[in-house]
Amino acid sequence: MNKVLEVPAEEPSRGSITCVGLGMTLGSHLTPIARSYIEQADVVFAGVSNAIVEQWLQRMHKDVRSLQSNYGEGKPRSKTYLEWVDLMMTEVRTGRRVCGVFYGHPGVFAWSPHKVIEVARSEGYDAQMEPGISAEDCLYADLGIDPGSHGCQHFEVNQLVFFKRRLDPTAYLVLWQVAMIANESISKADASAPYRQLLVDRLSRDYPLDHEIIVYRAATLPIEEPRIRKATLRDIATIAMTAEETVVVPPAQAPQRDEEFIRRMEAIRSMHEKPVSA
């Protein structure tokens, strides 16, 4: 008797979201897996800061939607970022494979990629993040800093002025979004100069005002060089700074030995090294 072959009904496509990073330098930092998520998506959302990058993405996918138009002068960035999540989730909910593309690492100082993944998972959709090369990775390479040598603390700049945070002046300090201090919108970064004096006042509790700092910009085009400007801590208030720069404060003091823990460590070591008696 002939067996009737049952063709399984095609599974309805499940929506999904993957957030990937482009890295900092156009073209050269994109990982193979990020490229493949972009190419295989049904729709790509671009949270990148520059039209050249968007055009480059359009060569990889025919449906690239810019998220830039959601920014607005005077409009809180938090509102814009929530809109990004809604735009991406709307497509996920219709069963499409969505790829959110962000510059650098999609999860480093970036709210929407984390949020959209959280929302998608809470609604039962597949959601994941692929790491990318961030400004942090570039600065270790360009400034010759190994975070393991002294330790390294990272702060979004508003965290330092709005909250009582503890700084360790024996480690590196990396300050993100300095030009955007106290700026909830996308207005001119230079308007931040008076607010930056507050940051200097805060930092001066832990560092001398003439301590050398670095204002760093990673190359975003392969033809560019990284920009590395040295200044003093007090200059942070007045030096011209763009939204694409990160401030690095090197250690100002040597760490103090903790004699109590050194003694306890030696006591443990000497116990372990005792010869076992027969």
Q: Which residue is nearest to ligand SAM (CB)?
A: 104
Query: Which run of H or E residues covers position 162?
Result: helix 157-162
Interaction of residue 110 with ligand SAM, rule CB under 6 A: yes
Q: How far is the CB of 177 from ligand SAM (least distance, A)?
A: 4
Q: How far is the CB of 60 from ligand SAM (least distance, A)?
A: 20
Single out the residue of 16, 112, 158, 246 in contact with ligand SAM (rule: CB under 6 A). 246
Interaction of residue 105 with ligand SAM, rule CB under 6 A: yes
Interaction of residue 176 with ligand SAM, rule CB under 6 A: yes
- Give how far Cα 140 sits from Cα of 18, 156, 172, Å: 27, 18, 11
Of the candidates 21, 39, 215, 209, which has an alpha carbon nearest to the alpha carbon of residue 106?
A: 21
Token readout for 69 is 């138009």
Of the candidates 269, 220, 263, 265, which has an alpha carbon nearest to the alpha carbon of residue 244?
A: 220
Interaction of residue 45 with ligand SAM, rule CB under 6 A: no
Of the candidates 165, 159, 162, 109, which has an alpha carbon nearest to the alpha carbon of residue 136?
A: 109
Interaction of residue 108 with ligand SAM, rule CB under 6 A: yes
Single out the residue of 96, 216, 241, 249 in contact with ligand SAM (rule: CB under 6 A). 216
The catalytic residue positions are 77, 81, 103
Rounded to an integer, what distance in angstroms lies between the CA atom of residue 203 and that of residue 200? 5
Q: How far is the CB of 140 from ligand SAM (least distance, A)?
A: 12
Interaction of residue 131 with ligand SAM, rule CB under 6 A: no
Token readout for 273 is 């090294």
Interface ranges with ligand SAM (CB under 6 A): 24, 103-105, 108-110, 134-135, 176-177, 180, 216-218, 220, 243-246
